C-alpha cells in the first residue's frame, strides 16, 4: 500500500514511522509512506503557500495553486490507473471510526493532505478532496496529528504487524463493543486488590464469557449508542441480549 502525505512539517512524521509496534508496517513493501513538503510547491519568489482570507479576519489560508502543484506531483509519482482518494482533515470532516480505518487498511492507499492555519481555500477542497475526516470536536494547529492517527490505526491492521492477529480482532470497536478490562501480574496487589478469579480459572470458555460480559457492561455504561449500532448490525448474540436484560432488571 502507498500513502503520500502533503504537509508543511514532514519532520513530524519521521519519528512515528520508525518507533513502536507499527514500525513494522512502514517497512519497505508494506505501507510505503512518501512525505511531500508543501513548501517545495510554494509560489515564487518566497515559496508562499498561504495568504490572508478574503473578507478579512484572523489567520491565513492555504492557497489553491501550491496545493494543486503538490497534488499533480504526487499523482504523477503514484502513476495509478485508479486514482487514490485525497483525504483532508478538519473538524468539519466525518468522524474517523474503526470501520473507516479498516476500509483504508484494505485499500490500495491514499493521499493525506495536512492543513495548517485557518485551513484550505474551499475551492481546492471542492475540486479535489474525496474524503474529509475529523478525529474529534476540538481544534488542532494542523492536520499532521490526524494524519498520524489514521496511519497508526491502519498500520495496526496490516498483517503481521501486531505480534498476534487476535490483538486487533479483539480490539475495541472491532466487534462493535468497547474492549474488556485487562489484568496482569501480580494476582494480588499490596492493597489486596486481586485479579478477577474468572481470569485465573484456566477455563477458556468461562474466561471468554467473562470478557464478553465485561465488554457488554462497559459499552452499555459508557457508549450505549455503540450497543444500538452493534445490535443493528446483528453483532449481539441471544446470550448477550439476555445478559444485558438481566443487567437492566438489576438496575431497575
Contact residues for ligand 4FV, defined by CB under 6 A: 89-91, 93, 115-117, 119, 134-136, 138-140, 142-143, 146
C-alpha angle 70-76-82 in degrees, rounded to nearest 5: 110
Catalytic residue among 50, 144, 146, 156: 156
> In the complex with ligand 4FV, which residue's Cβ is closer, 53 or 91?
91
Name the minimum Å distance from CB 243 to ligand 4FV: 36
Catalytic residue among 118, 179, 198, 209: 118
Name the minimum Å distance from CB 86 to ligand 4FV: 15
Strand pairing category for 2-7 and 32-37: parallel
Give the per-residue SS3 of 13-45. HHHHHHCCHHHHHHCCCCCEEEEEEHHHHCECC
CA 174 to chain centre: 13
C-alpha separations of 101 from 69, 115, 154, 173, 205 in Å: 28, 20, 6, 11, 30
> In the complex with ligand 4FV, which residue's Cβ is closer, 95 or 106?
95
The C-alpha cell at 209 is 464469557
Name the minimum Å distance from CB 135 to ligand 4FV: 4
> In the complex with ligand 4FV, which residue's Cβ is closer, 10 or 143?
143
Name the minimum Å distance from CB 59 to ligand 4FV: 9
Pairwise CA distance, residues 165 & 180, whole Å:
17
209 flagged as catalytic: no
> In the complex with ligand 4FV, which residue's Cβ is closer, 88 or 214?
88
Name the minimum Å distance from CB 32 to ligand 4FV: 23
120 phi and psi, to 5 degrees? -110, 140
97 flagged as catalytic: no
CA 18 to chain centre: 18
Pairwise CA distance, residues 177 & 227, whole Å:
7
> In the complex with ligand 4FV, which residue's Cβ is closer, 115 or 177?
115
Name the minimum Å distance from CB 94 to ligand 4FV: 10
> In the complex with ligand 4FV, which residue's Cβ is closer, 93 or 181?
93
Q: Give the number of residues written for the chain.
A: 252
The C-alpha cell at 93 is 470532516
Catalytic residue among 43, 152, 171, 179: 171
Pairwise CA distance, residues 70 & 33, whole Å:
16
225 flagged as catalytic: no
Q: 219 and 178 in contact (C-beta within 8 Å)?
A: yes
91 flagged as catalytic: yes
Q: 6 and 70 in contact (C-beta within 8 Å)?
A: yes
Give the residue numbers marked as catalytic.
91, 118, 156, 171
Amino acid at each position: 500500500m502507498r500513502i503520500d502525505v502533503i504537509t508543511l512539517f514532514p519532520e513530524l512524521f519521521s519519528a512515528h514511522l520508525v518507533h513502536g509496534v507499527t514500525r513494522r508496517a512502514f517497512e519497505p513493501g508494506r505501507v510505503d509512506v512518501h512525505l511531500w513538503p508543501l513548501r517545495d510547491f510554494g509560489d515564487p519568489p518566497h515559496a508562499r503557500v498561504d495568504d490572508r482570507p478574503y473578507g478579512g479576519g484572523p489567520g491565513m489560508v492555504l492557497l489553491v495553486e501550491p496545493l494543486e502543484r503538490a497534488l499533480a506531483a504526487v499523482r504523477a509519482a503514484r502513476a495509478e490507473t485508479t486514482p487514490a482518494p485525497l483525504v483532508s482533515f478538519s473538524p468539519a470532516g466525518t468522524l474517523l471510526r474503526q470501520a473507516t480505518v479498516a476500509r483504508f487498511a484494505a485499500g490500495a492507499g491514499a493521499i493525506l493532505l495536512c492543513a495548517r492555519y485557518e485551513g484550505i481555500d474551499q475551492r481546492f477542497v471542492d475540486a479535489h478532496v474525496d474524503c474529509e475526516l475529523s478525529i474529534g470536536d476540538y481544534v488542532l494547529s494542523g492536520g499532521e496529528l490526524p494524519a498520524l492517527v489514521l496511519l497508526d490505526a491502519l498500520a495496526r491492521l496490516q498483517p503481521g504487524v501486531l505480534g498476534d492477529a487476535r490483538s486487533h480482532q479483539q480490539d475495541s470497536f472491532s466487534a462493535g463493543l468497547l474492549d474488556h478490562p485487562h489484568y496482569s501480574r501480580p494476582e494480588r496487589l499490596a492493597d489486596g486488590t486481586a485479579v478477577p478469579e474468572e481470569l485465573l480459572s484456566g477455563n477458556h470458555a468461562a474466561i471468554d464469557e467473562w470478557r464478553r460480559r465485561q465488554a457488554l457492561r462497559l459499552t452499555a455504561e459508557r457508549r450505549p449508542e455503540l450497543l444500538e449500532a452493534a445490535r443493528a448490525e446483528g453483532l449481539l448474540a441471544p446470550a448477550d441480549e439476555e445478559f444485558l436484560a438481566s443487567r437492566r432488571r438489576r438496575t431497575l
